[in-house]
Amino acid sequence: DSGVTQTPKHLITATGQRVTLRCSPRSGDLSVYWYQQSLDQGLQFLIQYYNGEERAKGNILERFSAQQFPDLHSELNLSSLELGDSALYFCASSVVGVAGAAQYFGPGTRLLVL
Amino acid sequence: AQSVTQLGSHVSVSEGALVLLRCNYSSSVPPYLFWYVQYPNQGLQLLLKYTSAATLVKGINGFEAEFKKSETSFHLTKPSAHMSDAAEYFCAVSGGGADGLTFGKGTHLIIQP
């Protein structure tokens, strides 16, 4: 158990819909990262937040957005969902938000878009 | 841009044999390198990381990796494989202003009894 929690574990929805994935970082960690894992794209970095502020962007689509709240939990919002958005979405956290910091991953949210 | 190449999508070894999982990186700046393991239906667990303190890095579960700048490699080894080591292993790199990890495609480790 990494100490990072994600809800829900599974999510089934339809194309065109909007969903919100939630992540609570390890106690004391200030930085949160979101990743997408799919069979064709592998593991891809989406976005990073540090202490409530956006720190870095990866391959995140414009239909996707995220935020980190004052209590440091984070939400990833996926809208206008397409079949290709079906994937595992991981959240990770680290104490500091710098390259080289160990990132600890949550169990993931499995999204299925029908 | 940084990238990681993992040689061999599947590696099969006998129980008790040496495990060697290969990772080569490309980076224009001194990299930070990581190995993660993913068991079925679980998240990623950090095995070890290299952050320039020592070229030979020891991790959990008996794994270690050696950073070789001249070969741009960071191969993962374990002297004696155990059945519980069967999993997907990912090499990752970060650095150069990008804090997010860039992952390789993964290597599926199969342990034969």
pLDDT in tens, A20-57: 999 999 999 999 999 999 999 999 999 999 999 999 99
Phi/psi at B61 (nearest 5 deg)? 60, 25
> CA A100, A106, A107 angle in degrees (round to 5)?
140
Looking at beta carbons, which residues of chain B come within 8 Å of A102?
Answer: 34, 46, 49
Closest CA in chain A for residue B44: A105
Chain A contact present for B51, CB below 8 A: yes
Q: Which of B42, B51, B100 sits opposite A56 (nearest CB)?
A: B100
User: Residue B97's pLDDT band (boundaries 50, 70, 90)?
Assistant: low
Chain A residues near any Cβ of chain B (below 8 Å): 2, 4, 31, 33, 35, 42-48, 55-56, 58, 90, 92, 97-108
Looking at beta carbons, which residues of chain A come within 8 Å of B28?
Answer: none
**DSSP H or E run through B95:** strand B87-95
Q: Note whether A33 contacts B99, CB cutoff 8 Å.
A: yes
Max Cα-Cα span within chain B: 44
Closest CA in chain B for residue A31: B99
Residue A60 near residue A44, CB atoms below 8 Å: no
pLDDT at residue B53 greater than cutoff 90? no
pLDDT at residue B98 greater than cutoff 60? no
User: Residue B54's pLDDT band (boundaries 50, 70, 90)?
Assistant: confident
Mean confidence (pLDDT) of chain A: 94
Which pLDDT value is given to residue A1? 85
User: Residue B96's pLDDT band (boundaries 50, 70, 90)?
Assistant: low
The 3-class secondary structure across B1-17, one letter per residue, is CCEEEEECCEEEEECCC
pLDDT at residue A4 greater than cutoff 90? yes
- Output DSSP code: residue B70: T
Rounded Cα distance, A21 and A40, in Å? 22
Closest CA in chain B for residue A98: B99
